[in-house]
Amino acid sequence: MVCEMYAEPKDMPVLRHFRLERVAEGVYAAIAIEGAGAMGNAAIVDLGDSTLVLDTMLTPQAADDLRAAAEQLTGRLVRYVLNTHFHGDHVQGNQVFADAVIVATRRTRELMAERTLHDIERGQAHPEKGAEQLRKQEEELAGEQDEARKRALAADLATWRLFDAALPALRLPLPTLTFDTSIVLQGAQRRVEFLTIGGGHTHSDAFLYLPDDHVAVMGDLLFVKSHPWMGDGDPEEWIRILDHVETLDLRTLVPGHGPVGTLEDCARVRQYIRDSLAAVRDAMRAGTSADELIRQPVPTAYAAWDGSETYRWNMRFLHGYLSSTGESEAGED
Domains of the chain, by residue range, sit at: 4-114+170-325, 125-169
| φ, ψ for residue 269, nearest 5 deg | -65, -40
Q: Mean of the per-residue pLDDT values for the chain?
A: 92
- State residue 150's pLDDT score: 85
The CA distance from 261 to 280, in Å, is: 28
Average pLDDT over residues 278-292: 94
- State residue 146's pLDDT score: 81
- State residue 81's pLDDT score: 98
Task: Give residue-wise pLDDT tens across range 217-246.
Answer: 999 999 999 999 999 999 999 999 999 999
- State residue 327's pLDDT score: 62
Question: Exposed e or buried b for every residue in 276-310, given b needs 16+ CB within 10 A?
Answer: bbebbbebbeeebebeebeeeebeeebeebbbbeb
The CA distance from 194 to 189, in Å, is: 17
Q: How many CB atoms lie within 10 A of CB 126?
A: 11
DSSP string, 70-139: HHHHHSS-EEEEE--SS-HHHHTTGGGGTTSEEEEEHHHHHHIIIIIHHHHHHHHH-HHHHHHHHHHHHH
Q: Judging by DSSP bridges, how do beta strands 78-82 and 101-105 pair with one another?
A: parallel
3-state secondary structure of 252: strand
Task: Give residue-wise pLDDT tens across range 142-185.
Answer: 888 888 788 888 888 889 999 999 999 999 999 999 999 999 99
- pLDDT tops 50 at residue 10: no
**Banded pLDDT at 4 (limits 50, 70, 90):** very low
| Domain 4-114+170-325 coded CATH 3.40.50.300 | no
Average pLDDT over residues 103-130: 96
The separation between the first and the last C-alpha atoms of the chain, rounded to the nearest angstrom, is 30
Residues 6+ away with beta carbon under 8 Å from 100: 53, 77, 78, 79, 80, 81
- pLDDT tops 60 at residue 44: yes
**Banded pLDDT at 270 (limits 50, 70, 90):** very high
Report the largest interatomic distance among the alpha carbons of the chain, rounded to a whole angstrom.
62
Smallest CA-to-CA distance from 202 within 325, 114, 281 is with 114
- 192-197: long-range contacts (C-beta < 8 A, 24 or more apart)? 192/45, 192/47, 192/52, 194/82, 194/103, 196/105, 197/240, 197/241, 197/244
- pLDDT tops 70 at residue 12: no
pTM of the model: 0.92
The CA distance from 203 to 188, in Å, is: 33
- pLDDT tops 60 at residue 112: yes
For residues 179 and 11, the model is more confident at 179
